[in-house]
Amino acid sequence: MFDDARALVGSAPPPISIDEFRSRQSRLFSQIGSDEIVILCSSPETIHSNDVHHPYRSQSDMIYLTGWYEPESVMFAECIDGVWKVTLFVQPKDTLKEIWEGRRPGVEGALKDWAVDFAYPIGDLRSRLGDAISRCSKVHHQTGIRNEIDSIVTDAIQLRGRARQMNGSGPVGIEDPSAKIAELRLRKSPAEIEQMRHASIISSIAHEAAMRSSMSGRTENQIQAIIEGFFVFAGTSGWAYPSIVGCGENATILHYKENNSPCGDDEIILIDAGSEFRGYASDITRSWPINGKFTDAQKELYQLVLDSQEAAIAECKVGNPFNAPHEAARRVLAEGLIKLGVITQNLEESLDNENGQLKNWYMHNTSHWIGLDVHDVGIYKPNGEPRLFESGMCLTVEPGLYFGSWRPDVDCPERYSNIGIRIEDDVLITESGPDVLTSSCPKTIAEIESIVGKSF
């Protein structure tokens, strides 16, 4: 099955260029004083058990500004004679370590293939950074990621503070640069969009493969294996977030994690799974009957969620506020549930955030930004008002309905008992309207019924 599907993925786009990393760096440095410095660090490695590490994934800000994915690394930038220079501190090449743990680009590799001006072994960090901090007026550094880097910064600042006490010029301050970087990351470049589109295509095919492998008697984990197997087969680094694979009442648990139940013959399976390609996330949810045929009740809810999603996607337009898709989805869902007799309030009452009945069945937001992080950075309400969409912004659109009859807090209508449906796509805002990056993933009732259980 995968051999045929591989042909559908197409070739991968070129990686982000060195020039683009330089331009990202320049856009950040243009907002920083010339006597200030910037420090970014890689995420710490985390332990699965004893000497086994979790798969490593660095900090997205570090990836965004340098493209450097290795652990135990720090980026540092300062302005020398009016020109910003970027230094990377990295794990040096070490044959014995590389025999055990894998290849390292080292100092030489960093200088040759990355957008940096200088590179040094990570062991030099304390002395070189200390020197730089002693010369600067402010350190842009996000504390709380790596304690040892925080202590280098605070120790150097304290030393500097004492020196400054002598000449009265006051202490050096620390400022978190992440809000400035988030504003840059919020607007995706054409090259970034191509990475995201590639991840989205792979995730779309993975969902289709999962649909095709569905049949009565499958278990959630078997379907999960198909989807995640395809992520790796197609050349991504794997999932962008742990997959949610839930059948029947498990589909009504928003962040269901166990993924280990057998699927009942007449149940809907809800899969929220997306791959990560060169650090960029995709995020898709599809819901389908495991046996390939929607019941009438499942169809009623499915079509309603799909209608609400299409109404929400139509709101993804330049100049619209960020909450426009959410409000459109809520309105369609509430109108539909009133027609189906589930909601007994009038439309306006049902939409009330405190006492409206809609939130019994639709309790989450419709959208989040997506990019290097699946829940990407970027303030939703700058100055307290919803942000207006601009070309290049990417968000998910993911309405759903969840009728868990196990819930003690609501009376679940018998007809819809234990049906959970979410439909999620990734949308790029463009001047010519919404561009759905995940549009190749099947989602109409007719498409799904013609695909489930049928091989490629």
Q: Catalytic positions, please?
A: 51, 255, 272, 283, 364, 368, 375, 398, 402, 422, 424
398 near ligand GLY, rule: CB under 6 A: yes
CB of 283 to ligand GLY, least distance (A): 5
From the list 78, 272, 315, 335, which residue makes contact with ligand GLY (rule: CB under 6 A)? 272
The residues in 90-109 that bind ligand GLY, with binding defined as CB under 6 A, are: none
Q: Does 283 bind ligand GLY (CB under 6 A)?
A: yes
Of 172 and 205, CB closest to Mn ion = 205
Size of site (CB under 6 A) for ligand GLY: 7
Which residues in the 369-428 window bind Mn ion by CB under 5 A? 396, 424
Q: The tokens of 371 are what?
A: 């990019």
**DSSP characters for 398-446?**
--EEEE-TT-SSS---GGGTTEEEE-BEEEEEETTEEEETTTTS--SHH
Tokens of 179: 């809000």
Tell me the C-alpha distance between 323 and 285, whole Å.
20
> Taking the complex as a whole, how short is the minimal distance between the CB of residue 242 and ligand GLY, in angstroms?
9
Q: Which does 241 bind (CB under 5 to 8 A by kind): Mn ion, ligand GLY, none?
A: ligand GLY
Distance CA 445, CA 456 (A): 18
C-alpha separations of 15 from 107, 139, 229, 236, 394 in Å:
21, 31, 23, 13, 19
The helix/strand/coil state of 117 is coil
Token pair listed for 338: 């009133």
* Burial annotation 167-206 (CB, 10 A radius, 16+ → b, else e): eeeeebebeebbebbbbbbbebeeebbbbbbbbbbbbbbb
Q: Closest distance between Mn ion and the C-beta of residue 427, in Å?
A: 11
Judged by CB under 5 A, does residue 283 bind Mn ion? Answer: yes
**Closest separation in Å from C-beta 239 to Mn ion:** 11
Stretch that binds Mn ion, among 97-105, 225-233, 269-277, 382-390 (CB under 5 A): 269-277
Residue 26 phi, psi dihedral angles, 5° rounding: -65, -40
In this complex, which beta carbon is closest to Mn ion, that of residue 72 or of residue 272?
A: 272
- Lateral strand order in the sheet of 425-430: 394-397, 425-430, 433-436
Interactions with ligand GLY, residue window 337-376 (CB under 6 A): 368, 374
In Å, how far are 6, 20, 120, 187, 198 from 192, measured between CA atoms? 22, 10, 29, 9, 10
Enclosing H/E stretch for 270:
strand 268-273
241 binding ligand GLY? (CB under 6 A): yes
User: Of all residues in this chain, which one has the CB nearest to ligand GLY in the complex?
Assistant: 272
Find tokens 């008002």 and name the residue. 385
Binding string, residues 412-431; x marks residues near ligand GLY by CB under 6 A: ------------x-------
Among the candidate windows 4-12, 108-116, 226-234, 280-288, which touches Mn ion by CB under 5 A?
280-288
Q: Report the interface residues with ligand GLY, using CB under 6 A.
A: 241, 272, 283, 368, 374, 398, 424
- Residues near Mn ion (CB under 5 A): 272, 283, 285, 396, 424
